[in-house]
Amino acid sequence: ASVPVDLTIRGMTCGSCVRTIESQLQNLAGIKFVAVSLEKNRGRIIFDPNLISVQQLIAQISKLGFAAEEFA
């Protein structure tokens, strides 16, 4: 089963930032869908929580140089 999460992502300033985050996340096990909006500072990810957690998603984005947190 897959579930969605919405993240606030800070530090993106151009379209290449968006593509970096989308392409890197897509390569991880358990990721079904990724869409990142530069204008909204937002990312929506659909993932299998048996394979990856929200905290792991946030850690991966952090490794790319962007701060992320769950959007509430």
Using CB under 6 A as the criterion, which residues of the chain lie in contact with ligand 9UX when the complex forms? 13-14, 16-17
Nearer to ligand 9UX, 32 or 40 (CB): 40
Nearer to ligand 9UX, 13 or 50 (CB): 13
Min CB(5)–ligand 9UX separation in Å: 22
Cβ distance 58 to 71 under 8 Å? Answer: no
Nearer to ligand 9UX, 1 or 14 (CB): 14
d(C-alpha 55, C-alpha 57), whole Å: 5
